[in-house]
Amino acid sequence: MIGPVRIVGTGLIGTSLGLALRALGVPVQLSDPQPAAVALAQALGAGQIVGTPEVAEGAEGRSESPTIVVVAAPPDVVGAVVAQELARWPLAVVTDVASVKSAPLRQVRQLSTAHRRYVGGHPLAGRERSGAAAAQADLFMGRPWVLTPADDVDPQAVAMVRELVESVGAIVHLMAPEQHDEAVAVVSHMPQVAASLVAAQLQRLSPAAAALSGQGVRDVTRIAASDPELWTQILAANSESMHRTLVAVRADLDDMIAALATLESQPNQDNERARHTIRDLVTAGNVGRRRIPGKHGSAPTAYGTVSVMVPDQPGELARLLRDIGAAGVNIEDLRLEHSEGRPMGLAQVDVVPDATEILLKALDRRGWSVHN
Amino acid sequence: MIGPVRIVGTGLIGTSLGLALRALGVPVQLSDPQPAAVALAQALGAGQIVGTPEVAEGAEGRSESPTIVVVAAPPDVVGAVVAQELARWPLAVVTDVASVKSAPLRQVRQLSTAHRRYVGGHPLAGRERSGAAAAQADLFMGRPWVLTPADDVDPQAVAMVRELVESVGAIVHLMAPEQHDEAVAVVSHMPQVAASLVAAQLQRLSPAAAALSGQGVRDVTRIAASDPELWTQILAANSESMHRTLVAVRADLDDMIAALATLESQPNQDNERARHTIRDLVTAGNVGRRRIPGKHGSAPTAYGTVSVMVPDQPGELARLLRDIGAAGVNIEDLRLEHSEGRPMGLAQVDVVPDATEILLKALDRRGWSVHN
């Protein structure tokens, strides 16, 4: 089994990971530059405080050396902290959880010759709340966790980080760092900026106007409650992809504004061209929205669902994910339902319709109790 | 009691209103230019088909004349249809449900001398799905329903429409038409455009990138699945407020793009000013987000909740809303829980903390079974 796992940085992600690993019986060592943060994480049961940034290297006994270090530090410093940890633990694999991957990798390569033991990672499992207090052991369940190993990374290091990630129920996606940064610019960082732009306009609302807020504006602005300092670092670290993406958004916005200006200045005319511009943009949104996969989107594909009984024991869910992967089936969505006091959980695995039968047979052959 | 109510236009809103009124025992007459649409609405139980646009005025017997006509027609034609209905039913009050209010009122005044019987209305109860098939009897429950009577409207007409609106569980907000249009530009139409802009960018995603979609982008783009033709008409009819609002959004977006361009071109510098710009925008979003009232927002105010047993009989919920209004207490949010086979529902009414005691006493005095 994996471990001991050392987690450096006990915010939302670090603490949630600690909780998930402790639930599996994995020894977890916690560290954070802020004593209050790490004390809270330990009190929540996310692991044991071991060492502080001030403790000299090698202060802990050999037997307690971590096999994996997870750096959950802010994007601005993550590269430097990864390099420090690589130097401090010469036998450990080091990964991180930052929302950007190219800039940290560049930093690690500049600062460390041990970068073959570094595997960049990014769990897509944020919440609009941050900090240890918002941590949840099931935060990663069924969520994508991108790994972005550089070409020259030790394959054994990648395998170890993959095992860690799958043990907490996340689904591994392998990508190049640049490919990751371009993808999250569109699916994560740009929506964040849009939510902030919309929410910023709400500042000037009268109470009578604010009272008309419906589910639409609530949904659009939910993530606008996110941490400004964290998001400044993320956007700054992904400035190249973000700049390109927002310029494309502005081109569409300019078209919309020009169409509205025409309609405003000529209220009694047909203005079919202006209306066409607006209709095209809303239609493009319809099409783009359907690109989001899984049950929460409006994807035209109806997924097949396979239900699997999962013994409530450490490692069983990871074994299920491995067996699904071995069957060559891609997971579109995953939900886990636990019943209080029962020794089993029910995992509901969504897959493309064609894969349903394949998965049912493959899991049945491997001894899982399945039905659809 | 109100009724017969004539509903012209059996899309999502018209059909939902019919279902809600029929559940209260109110006679409902349905009409729609599309025979298939009105047939579906009748089959769903939203009312009876009476007449068609082709039937000559007065074709129905006097006894069946509606007391209220609700025009649920698209924004482009709503003014003309209201004027027609005012002419056709000389004793009826006419209201509408369009998402814009100034332009239809101008049209009605141009086309009809009977505009003192017209009370503009707008239920804020849309869904991303449209059409009769998506209709729900409880669509308006606890939702705002704006009424925008012009200064010269018959007060009795306003009272009748208010009774109709409250009978289906909606909460009346009185506003001037221009005030309404400016408010919905910010809380509804601008978020819709933002969702479409974000979703439009998703069109170019590879499947590998789309697979990284998380709850954030799903929430931001949920309403991007809305009907392009309907939204073209809404945005065109509210072009003045929308133009102003989107120009303000573009100014913030320009600042963000300039900051990212600086960070991109000078990756090794501090760029504190550029970072400041980004941080300020995200912070402004934090502040604006808190302006959204009610349980779904992140409003700093914790509301008090008063629970009221409501007999499961037509008109009881409307009586409760009237009694709450008479107590001078503003409803922040309302949820209704029904238990299968029980003669009572439980209404949970959220109010500002100071009003909790006032409301408890006022409702108790009026014979309601209350607790908090």
What is the interface pTM, i.e. ipTM, of the complex?
0.78
* C-beta of residue B311 within 8 angstroms of C-beta of residue B343: yes
Strands A93-96 and A144-147: unpaired
**Range list of H helices, chain A:** 12-23, 35-44, 75-88, 102-111, 155-167, 177-184, 190-202, 207-210, 215-221, 228-237, 239-265, 272-289, 316-326, 355-365
Check: pTM over 0.95? Answer yes or no.
Answer: no
> Which residue in A131, A166, A171, A173 sits closest to A21, CA to CA?
A166
Structure tokens at B253: 């977006």
Q: In what order do the strands lie in the sheet with A68-71?
A: A48-49, A28-31, A5-8, A68-71, A93-96, A118-119
Query: What is the structure's pLDDT at A312?
Result: 67
Cis-peptide into B4, omega within 30 deg: yes
B352 touches A at CB < 8 Å: no
- Residue located via tokens 């109110």: B26
**pLDDT band with cut points at 50, 70 and 90 for residue A56:** very low
Is pLDDT of B55 > 50? no
Query: What is the structure's pLDDT at B62?
Result: 40
Query: What is the structure's pLDDT at A313?
Result: 67
Is pLDDT of B54 > 50? no
Query: What is the structure's pLDDT at A299?
Result: 42
Measure the CA–CA gap between A191 and B198, rounded to whole angstroms: 6
Measure the CA–CA gap between B347 and B361, rounded to whole angstroms: 16
Is pLDDT of B352 > 90? no
Is pLDDT of A327 > 90? no
Query: What is the structure's pLDDT at B125?
Result: 85
Query: What is the structure's pLDDT at A215?
Result: 84
* C-beta of residue B158 within 8 angstroms of C-beta of residue B119: yes
Is pLDDT of A128 > 80? no
Q: Which of A208-212, B252-256, B266-270 shows the highest mean pLDDT?
A: B252-256
- Three-state secondary structure call for residue A205: coil
Measure the CA–CA gap between A155 and B68, rounded to whole angstroms: 74
Q: Which of A98-102, B1-5, B226-230, B320-324 shows the highest mean pLDDT?
A: A98-102
A218-255 burial code (b ≥16 CB/10 A, e <16): bbbbbbbbbbbebbbbbbbbbbbbbbebbebbbebbee
Cβ distance of A260 and B243 shorter than 8 Å:
yes
* C-beta of residue B359 within 8 angstroms of C-beta of residue B349: yes
Cα radius of gyration (chain A): 23
CA B371 to chain centre: 29
Continuous segment of H or E residues that includes residue B35: helix B35-44
| Chain A CB contacts of B228 below 8 Å | 279, 282-283, 286
Q: Compare CB distances from B224 to A221, A248, A285 and report the shortest one's residue.
A: A285
Structure tokens at A181: 């940064």
Separation in Å, CA of B60 to nearest CA in chain A: 36
**Position B266: which residue type?**
Q
Continuous segment of H or E residues that includes residue A96: strand A93-96
**Position A46: which residue type?**
A
Task: Please give the average per-residue pLDDT across A52-79, as a whole number.
Answer: 73
Cβ neighbours for A325, distance < 8 A, ≥ 6 positions apart:
none
Beta strands in chain B (DSSP E): 5-8, 28-31, 48-49, 68-71, 93-96, 118-119, 121-123, 144-147, 171-174, 304-311, 333-338, 344-351, 370-371
Per cent of chain B over pLDDT 90 is 66
* C-beta of residue B20 within 8 angstroms of C-beta of residue B168: yes
Q: Which of A53-67, B45-59, B276-290 shows the highest mean pLDDT?
A: B276-290
DSSP 8-class letter at A64: G
Cβ distance of B209 and A260 shorter than 8 Å:
no
Is pLDDT of B15 > 60? yes
Chain B residues 248-307 with a CB less than 8 Å from chain A:
248-250, 252-254, 256-257, 260-261, 263-264, 267, 271, 274-275, 278-279, 281-294, 296-298
Task: Please give the average per-residue pLDDT across B90-117, as a whole number.
Answer: 96
B357 touches A at CB < 8 Å: no
Q: Mind listing the pLDDT tens digit for each residue in A226-263?
A: 899 999 999 999 999 999 999 999 999 999 999 999 99
Cβ distance of A194 and B190 shorter than 8 Å:
no
The mean predicted confidence, pLDDT, of chain B is 88
Q: Mind listing the pLDDT tens digit for each residue in B73-95?
A: 999 999 999 999 999 999 999 99
**Position A313: which residue type?**
Q
Is pLDDT of B353 > 90? no
**pLDDT band with cut points at 50, 70 and 90 for residue B63:** very low
Alpha-carbon distances of A126 from B198, B216, B335, rounded to whole Å: 19, 9, 29
Measure the CA–CA gap between B326 and B155, rounded to whole angstroms: 18
Q: Mind listing the pLDDT tens digit for each residue in B158-208?
A: 999 999 999 998 989 999 999 999 999 999 999 999 999 999 999 999 999
**pLDDT band with cut points at 50, 70 and 90 for residue B30:** very high
